[in-house]
Amino acid sequence: MLDLLERWSAVFANTIWGTPLLVLLVGGGLFFAVYSRLLPYRHIGHAIGITLGRHDTPEEPGELSHAQALAAALAGTLGLGNIAGVALAIVAGGPGAIFWMWASALVGVATKFFTCSLGIMYRGHDSLGRLRGGPQYIIREALPRPFYPLAVLFSAAGMIGTLPMFQANQLTALVRESLGAQGLGDSFNLGVGLLVATVVATVVFGGLQRVARVAVALLPAMSLLYLAMALFVLARHVTEIPALLGLIVSEAFAPQAVGGGLLGVVLIGVSRGTFSNEAGLGTEVMAHSVARTAEPIKEGLVAMLGPMIDTLLVCTCTALVILVSGLWQAPGELNGVAMTLAALRAELGVLAAPLLSVVVLILSLTTMFAGWYYGATCFGFLFGAQYQHWFRYFFIGTIVFGASVSIDVVFNLIVGAYGLMAIPTMTATLLLAPQVMRAARLYFGLADDPAAATAPNATGDEQ
């Protein structure tokens, strides 16, 4: 049965992640960058200022501050995609896959600016009257009725793509590797899955505010700890880094590259990059849409920082650590988080396992917390917010399932669902891009006056 599921999941992921989706994500991101005349990239400093709270407006509608919204969104991206996902990309596509992860992040900056600006611009209310947002609400509020099936598609795929199976699987794998318990069977996996499910349940039953508080409290420290570990390794091999960067670039354009030739490497890199930073998928829109602001462009600027932190910084550090180790050339049984652990262990010795275990535990848990909110929002959109508490039990149950099956099954299911989510998200954003630029011209026209720059000046009602 599991063999059949593994084959089916591979077919599902490979079918979704074909050339059309690649064109939609990368081509769409390039369009946003060119159409905006690189506007998001020219205002990174202002985006950081907004995130630090310099332009907060507490009286405006929403549940989270700008910093909390970014932390909630990063909780869904910073995690095992940066640690295990990078290893999976290198094993599947070679070093060249990292270049295309970078490419997905660079265009993802513009994509997130547009998608998350629309998330504020076209917020709606769920069946309980609570302010909510996301691609499904953008489609419902801004596009004609014939586009509504795209909102349904996004929500249905979102309930699968945001499930915590990958995090549970790789967290279990790390515990097994750290304890030297590779020989233990399904009962060990089940036990770890049940323990993780219990921890996650204590947070997700507390609602979005608890998720955001936990993310704000834990993410910075764990991210810095992981970066410190990676940078320590890279400092010891600093003379090798230029050659490794050259290898990444040259392999990215090698016709006979690992992973099925040039197109195969591009698809692997873009899919893994999107899995990590989620630009164009729409999950991050659901987090940023509940930010406490009436100014769409502010939140779009905050959101665009995500791919820079997630992929260009954290994923690059992981990739270089793995390439320095040489383990990628003969992976054998090593893949995902086990490969990253082995690479760190070669440099940090006995400290690697406990330190990485703490980092992975916290980052995977925060990702699960964010995933619950995304999935519950999708469930509530389809079936009514008054019933979405039932989704919690299904969500918790999939943690146990994910801990018990192979990494290929859970990764293919999640990545395939992500691809489906990108179709309605990018379609709606491309159609509504002029609305974002209209609001951006107004916002940055007034922002020349420092006093006006802190005030809301482009709301959804004005569009």
Domains of the chain, earliest start first: 9-448 (1.20.1740.10)
Residues 6+ apart with CB under 8 A from 98: 86, 89, 90, 248, 252, 269, 315, 316, 319
Any residues with CB less than 8 A from the CB of 11 and at least 6 apart, and which? Answer: none
pLDDT at site 76: 59
Task: State which H helix or E strand residue 169 sits in.
Answer: helix 165-179
The span from the CA of 44 to the CA of 359, in Å, is 28
The pLDDT value recorded for residue 271 is 83
Beta carbons of 123 and 111 less than 8 angstroms apart: no
pLDDT of residue 447: 45
Q: What is the per-residue pLDDT for 1? A: 63
For 401-435, the DSSP string reads: HHHHS-HHHHHHHHHHHHHHHHHHHHHHHHHHHHH
Whole-angstrom distance, CA of residue 45 vs CA of residue 42: 8
Looking at residue 248, what is its pLDDT? 93
Rounded Cα distance between 95 and 87, Å, is 10
Beta bridge mates, 291: 64
Whether 264 contacts 93, CB under 8 Å: yes
Q: How confident is the prediction along the chain (463 residues), in pLDDT tens digits per residue?
A: 667 777 888 888 888 988 888 889 989 999 999 999 999 999 988 888 887 766 656 665 555 666 666 666 665 566 667 888 888 888 888 898 999 999 999 999 999 999 999 999 999 888 888 888 999 999 999 999 999 999 999 999 999 998 988 888 888 887 877 776 666 667 788 888 888 888 888 777 765 555 556 656 677 788 888 899 999 999 999 999 999 999 999 888 875 555 556 777 888 888 888 877 888 889 889 888 877 778 899 889 988 988 888 888 989 999 999 999 888 887 566 667 788 888 998 888 888 888 888 888 888 777 887 788 889 999 999 999 999 888 988 999 999 888 888 878 888 888 899 999 999 999 999 999 999 999 999 988 844 444 333 333 333 333 3
Q: How far is CA 276 from the centre of its chain?
A: 5
DSSP letters, 200-215, are HHHHHTT-HHHHHHHH
Q: How far, in Å, CA of 284 to CA of 303, rounded? A: 8
Quick one: pLDDT at residue 267? 84
